[in-house]
């Protein structure tokens, strides 16, 4: 092990320049992670999906749907069978998205890929299992209770939860989360109190 370390270490006269270059590279990687908000992708916060403004239509249509109360992006678009497949799929899909958006190669209308279709379908059934496998429905329709799995859920439920059309041009003024205010919280509170006091004085007069 010691011989291996000695082999990869640079000669004494090169140690300082190599250390300098490595420090710059590490600093660049850390800064790149910071400005790209890479840490946010480990969370389930839907706002992470609009770090790229290109996803604004998807965020806006979800935010105005009934699903917003009970789901987030990862609830539908990431596997939940185990933690390994969960994060593997999330990393794989995220890297593909990041590559496409960085190269500005995204289409006007974003369509889900085949792997994503399978995951979303599984998650629809996972959450709505009682409806899909309801024996009462099977008695009324005269079909086995699993017949609902033969088709994709959104073959019928086309507008859930993103609407039928969600291209960049169809939702041009999509309201996505704005950047946090640069004004410190204590200052906003102080200004709000002053504003309330002034309005009270005007009401008294």
Three-state DSSP class for residue 1: coil
What pTM was computed for the model? Answer: 0.65
Q: What is the pLDDT of residues 120-164, one digit of tens each?
A: 999 998 998 877 777 776 676 666 555 556 778 888 888 888 877
Question: Which of the four pLDDT bands, split at 50, 70 and 90, describes residue 173?
Answer: low
What 3-state class would DSSP assign to 186?
helix
Distance, in Å, from the CA atom of 100 to the CA atom of 54, rounded to the nearest integer, reads 11
- Fold for 45-178, please state it: Multiheme cytochrome fold (1.10.3820)
Give per-residue pLDDT as tens, 7-34: 777 777 888 888 899 999 999 998 887 8
Distance, CA of 32 to CA of 117 (rounded, Å): 31
Domain boundaries, the chain: 1-35, 45-178
The phi and psi torsions of 104 (rounded to 5 degrees) equal: 55, 45
């Amino acid at each position: 092990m010691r011989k291996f370390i000695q082999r990869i270490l640079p000669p004494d006269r090169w140690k300082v320049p190599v250390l300098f270059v490595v420090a710059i590279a590490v600093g660049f990687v850390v800064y790149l992670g910071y400005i790209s908000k890479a840490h946010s992708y480990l969370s389930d916060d839907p706002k992470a999906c609009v770090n790229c403004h290109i996803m604004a239509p998807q965020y806006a249509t979800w935010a105005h749907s009934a699903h917003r109360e009970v789901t987030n992006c990862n609830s539908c678009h990431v596997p939940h069978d185990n933690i390994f497949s969960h994060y593997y799929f999330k990393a794989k899909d995220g890297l593909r998205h990041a590559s496409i958006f960085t190269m500005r190669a995204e289409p006007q209308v974003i369509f889900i890929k085949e792997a994503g279709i399978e995951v979303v379908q599984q998650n629809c059934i996972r959450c709505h299992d009682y409806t899909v496998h309801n024996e009462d429905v099977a008695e009324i329709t005269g079909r086995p209770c699993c017949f609902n799995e033969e088709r994709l859920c959104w073959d019928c439920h086309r507008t859930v939860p993103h609407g039928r059309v969600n291209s960049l041009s169809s939702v041009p003024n999509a309201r996505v989360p704005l950047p946090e205010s640069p004004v410190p919280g204590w200052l906003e509170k102080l200004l709000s109190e002053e504003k309330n006091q002034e309005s009270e004085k005007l009401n008294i007069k």
